[in-house]
Amino acid sequence: MSMENPVASDLSALRIHRDREPKRPVGMLIFFAILAVLIGAGIYVAASGALSVKTVETVSASVVTEGQAETILSATGYVEADTKADLSPKITSKVTALYVTEGDTVKKGQLLARLDRTDIDAQLADAKAAWVNADAELERQRALLKAGLASQSAVDAAVAAEASTRAKVRYVEAQQDYAEIRAPFTGRVIAKRAHVGEAVSPYGAPGQGSATGGAIVTLVDFSSLYVGADVNESNLGRLKPDQPAEVVLDAYPDHTYHGHLLQIIPTADRAKGTVKVKVAFEDPDAKILPEMSARVNFTAKKTTGEAAAKTRVTIPKSAVAAVDGRSGVYLVAGGRALFREIEAGAENSGQLEVRSGLQGGERLVAEPAKAGVKNGEKVKVKGD
């Protein structure tokens, strides 16, 4: 009976059996290597595509009215009146009657107010009495001179006294006329500055000064309304006599009035560097009121009466590009620059009218020549 060596048995258990070593999957390694290369190539292509997208600045195709398209100069100002009067009394007295209020239309010569003339009536009675006495004295002195009982000097003195008292009567009668305030021209009352019972004077309330004197009412001839606007000195040379204009009142921004340059005031404002101009209304209506703020657009030519309805599409001239002899623009849509042919019209102050090809509101590459874009090329808008 043989006995096995236990040590040899333990060592044999530690022997490496090389014939049982697992084989490495070479095919799988090759597959994953190829896959890694493809993924890397895809990432590179994607990164290259992203880097090739051009960043551009854009402008919009604007929809403007006919007047806006023809505008060569804009200014702001206020509605003013060429014929306006603060009607003040020539005497100090109290208002006894007032026949008008704000908004009333009055005619030339119409009675607007009466002042208390009690004192004037008393002065007139005294002056007339003195005139009667002086006239009687003159007749008496002439009779005495004819009878040889008076000297010529006495007659001359009587003549002077009669003339003086007669002049006094005329003066007091004029004072009576001053107690009636009448309209100097046809117009509308825009302000009532006094009330019945108040004391008025040519210089305002007794003992006080006033910017409008002692005005009882303010009267304006609405047919003489115009817009007074300030124009920068450097732009004055762009205006010519009767320059067409459009006027928009801030109170009615959807309505356009038409007018023309009426006058350039022959002086400048040194502090502001501006010159005031007057713009006449050609189609005034009852909505125009004094002191309303207004915007004036001087146009290159006279616009039609339907300026508000007739619109145009304009773009900056720099947005136009030439491709194969065709004029057009590059629209930015879907992340790409797409060329579109247009028919261009007149140019005004760097803005080009587009007669066909655009409807307005489109986003365009601002300077396609400078950006170097091509039709269909991917673009990114700067700032987006």
Q: Render pLDDT for 150-185 as a digit per residue (tens, 0 to 9).
A: 899 988 999 999 999 999 999 999 888 899 999 999
SS3 54: strand
Query: What per-residue confidence (pLDDT) applies to 32?
Result: 65
Query: What per-residue confidence (pLDDT) applies to 181?
Result: 93
Euclidean distance between CA atoms 92 and 79, whole angstroms: 33
pLDDT band of 266, cuts 50, 70, 90? very high
Q: For the chain, what are the domain ranges?
A: 55-64+311-381, 70-83+224-299, 85-219
Mean pLDDT (whole number) for 138-157: 90
Equal CATH topology for 70-83+224-299 and 85-219: no
Backbone φ and ψ for 24, nearest 5 degrees, come out as: -75, 140
pLDDT digits (tens, 9 = 90+) for 89-111: 988 889 999 999 999 999 999 99
Query: What per-residue confidence (pLDDT) applies to 307?
Result: 42
Mean pLDDT (whole number) for 138-151: 89
Query: What per-residue confidence (pLDDT) applies to 349?
Result: 67
pLDDT for residue 214 is more than 80? no
Exposure on the CB side of residue 345, measured as CA atoms within 13 A: 14
Euclidean distance between CA atoms 105 and 86, whole angstroms: 15
Mean pLDDT (whole number) for 45-61: 69
Mean pLDDT (whole number) for 342-369: 84
Query: What per-residue confidence (pLDDT) applies to 308?
Result: 46
Query: What per-residue confidence (pLDDT) applies to 206?
Result: 41
Reading the block at residue 241, the tokens are 């006599």
Burial code of 206-216, b = ≥16 C-beta within 10 A, e = fewer? eeeebeebbbb
pLDDT for residue 209 is more than 60? no
Helix axes 152-178, 118-147, angle to 10 degrees: 160
CA dihedral 240, 232, 85, 170 (to 10 degrees): -80
pLDDT band of 351, cuts 50, 70, 90? confident
Query: What per-residue confidence (pLDDT) applies to 15?
Result: 56
SS3 33: helix
Instruction: Please tell me which residue, 54 or 209, carries the higher pLDDT value.
Output: 54
* Topology, domain 70-83+224-299: Elongation Factor Tu (Ef-tu); domain 3 (2.40.30)
Euclidean distance between CA atoms 151 and 144, whole angstroms: 8
> How far, rounded to the nearest angstrom, does the alpha carbon of residue 260 sit from its chain's CA centroid?
15
pLDDT band of 382, cuts 50, 70, 90? confident
Query: What per-residue confidence (pLDDT) applies to 188?
Result: 96
Confirm if 57 and 366 have CB atoms less than 8 A apart: yes
- Counting every residue, how long is the chain? 384
Instruction: Please tell me which residue, 46 or 288, carries the higher pLDDT value.
Output: 288
pLDDT band of 303, cuts 50, 70, 90? confident
The letter for the amino acid at 58 is: T
SS3 179: coil
Mean pLDDT (whole number) for 225-243: 93
**Domain 85-219, second-level architecture:** Beta Barrel (2.40)
- What pTM value is reported for the model? 0.61
Exposure on the CB side of residue 349, measured as CA atoms within 13 A: 12
DSSP H helices in 241-345: none
Which segment of 57-71, 109-123, 200-214, 239-253 scores lowest on mean pLDDT? 200-214
Q: Please name the helix (run of DSSP H) or strand (run of DSSP E) that holds residue 277, with its range, or none.
A: strand 274-281
Query: What per-residue confidence (pLDDT) applies to 19?
Result: 52
Euclidean distance between CA atoms 331 and 59, whole angstroms: 10
Query: What per-residue confidence (pLDDT) applies to 354?
Result: 87
pLDDT for residue 305 is more than 70? no
Query: What per-residue confidence (pLDDT) applies to 28?
Result: 65
* Topology, domain 55-64+311-381: 2.40.420
pLDDT exceeding 90 applies to what percent of the chain? 45
Query: What per-residue confidence (pLDDT) applies to 115?
Result: 94
Euclidean distance between CA atoms 122 and 145, whole angstroms: 35
The residues with which 220 forms a beta bridge, in sequence order, are 84, 188
Mean pLDDT (whole number) for 39-65: 68
pLDDT for residue 319 is more than 70? yes
Q: Are strands 377-381 and 54-56 parallel, antiparallel or unpaired?
A: parallel
Which segment of 138-142, 200-204, 237-241 scores lowest on mean pLDDT? 200-204
pLDDT for residue 58 is more than 50? yes
